[in-house]
Amino acid sequence: MAESHPLPIHIVRIKKLKSLLAIIKNSVKNDSYMFRNLYADKDGEEVDILENGIVSCAAFVSAVLLNLELIKKPHATVSGMEKDLIESGWHEIHENKPGAVVIWEKVMFDDKKEHRHLGFCTSADEAISNSASEGFPRRHHITYNNSRKIEKILWHPDLDKG
């Protein structure tokens, strides 16, 4: 005969939108080094593929979404992240909505390469994403004060449940 558990067992449903917004907003409260480094072997050499936080937006976004079971696996690139978002049920919307994932157009970095960027919408005119210059998640204008165009805004239907 199975022993009964000494504490009551409760069935809970995580409120994904409320939790997502709390995690995102909490991410800017201090300088967390959590998303600055990810090491890999590249052509037999160990490299930091996040470049000390310069290109870690996908690592930040995927860690948050994976924690809430809104994507399938962690990512270090915007293209891999975008593919997983679509495969995980995210779809394009046309308005800024708190909790939506925002993908911005490519811009030229100091390394002379174009880089796309992604983060989270937190209001009609505000977003949170990992800052390439600081290496930490930061709050900023949704279009970087009209200096970077939004390429896509993506939404998951599970966020409609709260």
Residue 92 to residue 139: CA distance in whole angstroms: 22
For residue 113, what pLDDT is reported? 81
Tell me: pLDDT of 140 over 90.
Answer: yes
Exposed, middle or buried: residue 69 (CB in 10 Å: 0-12, 13-18, 19+)? Answer: exposed
> Over the stretch 35-63, which tens digit does the pLDDT of each residue have?
999 999 999 999 999 999 999 999 999 99
- Does the structure show a pLDDT above 60 at 1? no
Q: How confident is the model at residue 92 (pLDDT cuts 50, 70, 90)?
A: very high
pTM of the entire structure? 0.89
Nearest to 109 by CA among 147, 58, 55: 55
* Residue extents of the structural domains in the chain: 16-161
Please state the CATH superfamily assignment of the domain spanning residues 16-161 in this structure.
endopeptidase domain like (from Nostoc punctiforme) (3.90.1720.10)
Q: In this predicted model, what pLDDT tens digit does every residue of 60-80 receive, in sequence order?
A: 999 999 999 999 999 999 999
